[in-house]
Amino acid sequence: MACRAEFGPSQPFKGARISGSLHMTIQTAVLIETLTALGAEVRWCSCNIFSTQDHAAAAIARDATLLIHEGVKAEEEFERSGKVPDPDSTDNPEFKIVLTIIRDGLKTDARKYRKMKERLVGVSEETTTGVKRLYQMQESGTLLFPAINVNDSVTKSKFDNLYGCRHSLPDGLMRATDVMIAGKVAVVCGYGDVGKGCAAALKQAGARVIVTEIDPICALQALMEGIQILTLEDVVSDADIFVTTTGNKDIIMVDHMRKMKNNAIVCNIGHFDNEIDMNGLETYPGVKRITIKPQTDRWVFPETNTGIIVLAEGRLMNLGCATGHPSFVMSCSFTNQVIAQLELWKEKATGKYEKKVYVLPKHLDEKVAALHLGKLGARLTKLTKAQSEYISIPVDGPYKPAAYRY
């Protein structure tokens, strides 16, 4: 609302066409409405088949914003062959239509997407995994547009990733299973900002938390919080709850799941469903899937007749089994998105942004935080001129160097 109040009257996005791919939740609906209120024409696509909230989608569709309700990705086939998959290669009728539209468009104009690239002003990306892809493209010389890394804004990663997951992980666990967390042994795979939030939530709920980690710095941070660092192989037979938070693939494999205790809970809050080996689980000989309720399945192994409980089919459990992060913390992330898009659009003709990945400057990161303080009743202390000169920091900021670690 603060963004709309400040920027709305000047209509800074007039003439801009913005396309988004993000979970279609009520929080995203407010982001879409904000972009529209600032003058943009908006199209949106949900990025997860389980996270769309129908009431949010319906509300946005009523406002004549084009909405693609579900999306399915052809990334693996494209990566393997460099071609769009044949529409007949899938039984999914929606996917078949999408592939047909793409292929027909290329038949009409083989340069369709190159032309689209030429008019792209830029991209803002707020997920850890998405940002990794952008940096990989930058390194390989295949990045075709300027990109702003919203994920590494302090007001995104230290709030959405950490405090958001601290709230929504236990919410999803309890809605899906009604399990008592206290007294359980919980394994968190990864101790980045998402892992830190998850470990804190489980620990506060009374679980005995163990972390698996590849990074010695993150591992040392966990140890300083009283959390044990072990490998998954060390604890796979003893833990009650497993949470993946890494953004990587092949974290929990089917051989791990076979060794878990009966009714161990397995879930992902990192990114794609390949953090957990769902393909290996689904194709395991003789395995039986029992749906307890939507997004909560018990998988029974034939040799032991014991099973594990997998949430949201290995996809993001906080969105599949609950409603994701609360609105206030998502407001921090989405304000970053609005400001990043404003920055790209404002500077589109200046050459300020090349085909590289950028992070929002510190003064804009601080602005996002400042816009949210009033709602929490905060009153900031103001530097005097003498204090400002003494520590060589401007009275109005930025208050920290770019490399400062919060």
128 marked as part of a ligand binding site: yes
346 marked as part of a ligand binding site: no
325 marked as part of a ligand binding site: yes
117 marked as part of a ligand binding site: no
193 marked as part of a ligand binding site: yes
Residue with structure tokens 């993000």?
Answer: 22
313 marked as part of a ligand binding site: no
271 marked as part of a ligand binding site: yes
291 marked as part of a ligand binding site: no
363 marked as part of a ligand binding site: no
225 marked as part of a ligand binding site: no
305 marked as part of a ligand binding site: no
192 marked as part of a ligand binding site: yes
350 marked as part of a ligand binding site: no
State the binding site for NAD(+). Answer: 127-129, 192-197, 213, 269-271, 318, 325
State the binding site. Answer: 127-129, 192-197, 213, 269-271, 318, 325
